[in-house]
Structure 1
Amino acid sequence: MHTSDNAGPPAVTISDRLDGRRALVTGASKGTGAAIAARLREAGATVLGVARSAPDPHPGPLGFVAADLTSPDGVDLVAAHVAEHLGGVDILVHTLGGSRSPSGGFAALTDEHWADELGLNLLSAVRLDRALVSGMSAMRRGTVVHVSSIQRRQPLHAATLGYAAAKAALTTYSKGLANEVGPHGVRVNVVSPGFIRSSGADGLVERLSTGQGITRDEALGQVMDSLGGIPLGRPSEPAEVAELVAFLVGDRSAAITGAEHTIDGGTVPTVG
């Protein structure tokens, strides 16, 4: 039997495993952050979760540290914990974010509201990167994922204008960081979810309902309409966002950096 000599080299299989890698996930006590932390652990990574309050059951000092990342002291606490227990990180996923400002448009937002939105959605990531990414650069390896939002392109002016502006700043900052640390072997990407079925989304619906004196169903419909609808017909699930993050921090995405990855069921219109 004749065998062709032109079969070519065997296909290269790239593993989706993260064994031996040290990951830090912020906002990890619930919702999307908890789903991401669980997915990375499933892939074999050693995961340190960070949030203001510990999940139940508490995974212990090697699995969780309670800290307020909106303050420099909270970031210092996490950096010290990483140095003591992990000796650095290979993966940094910044999921922390949200909005606690009232509805009512730009006039309802005080200086304190703006400072709160920027501190939670932008500066917490900037400070944590400053504390940990230099270590990645020194090792010449590492991956960073910042979770932004489609609101940075489609702001809900009546409800979460400060949040949307802060996420826009986070996305721009992420691109600059990717360009700076890419030559040192560190990749930085952004994940921008749309409407996710989570406690944060429930909180937004509740604030709109209370602020406008409408039912929760009416408030939910208002959010869906303000986004322009979801062609897929449903919100995204936290586990679906976690799958995208797991891809971006692994070897399968080794050539991807400085990019924004939208997961919104088709909400944001795109061309080309």
Structure 2
Amino acid sequence: MAAKGETYQPAFPPSQKPHISTGIPFPLACAHHIQHTFHASKVYTIVSASISKTANFTALQEVLGEKIVGVRRGIKPHTPWEDVLEIVKEIRERGADVIVTLGAGSLTDGAKVISFALANDVFTVDDLEGITTEAKREDLKSCKIPVINIPTSLSGGEYSPFAGATDLRNNHKAQFRHPSMGADIIILDPALSVSTPERIWLSTGIRAVDHCVEGLCSLDSHANEESARAFAEGLRLLVPNLLLTRGNWESEEPRLKEMLGVVEAMKGLHE
């Protein structure tokens, strides 16, 4: 159910996961869906170390108030298994019933693996190894705890059902994949993204452009008209608006179009 003034719709219909929220500030959207969509009361937040020191995170904390039962400030690059297991332990101990991430990169991958680990009774490094794609288990359970992603880059990782996390015993970045993995709701707020460093915002945007170009030029037999349309729409939204953002960093309208361009790029990969 959408909040007043919010646009709320599935990213890849007819699939119901993930939904995208736009149109209202991210703290209000987050609070609304925690209460009315998930009926949750114990929120565990994973926030990037840099954003945790800003007014943006303060605003989220003020709206959620006592519902926040845990805060993790940052996950190290490449999502080490130790970080994942620490958060899994905290979520269990505190009885959290929803995960909210504010940031991108390792946080996004981390939340996917954490939710998957919680569903499959993972407690140790060996347990975690047992749910990687390399383990090829067929009895894995679907994620249960809902995840809300509030991204601050154009990387698009929140739209995919797979993630990477690093086993520091051998420095191998293992893959985790399951149809249930990934965000349930992705909140897109262009005002939030203004604080993202320019090199990260623009470079991840160009990576999304690369996805579209690669998809359109692919000779893969799985390519089809629907994916081609999505990739073309992604380019239409991304390219001119990245240029506009480069020229006027504070402007929010092109930023939202870039975010929606990433949705189209990922839709092309889903088709």
Instruction: Please classify the TM superposition score into its range, dividing by the shorter chain length.
Output: 0.3 to 0.5
Question: How does the TM-score come out when normalised to structure 2?
Answer: 0.40
Relative CO higher for 1 or 2, CA cutoff 8 Å, sep ≥ 6? Answer: 1
Question: How does the TM-score come out when normalised to structure 1?
Answer: 0.40
Q: Which has the larger radius of gyration?
A: 1
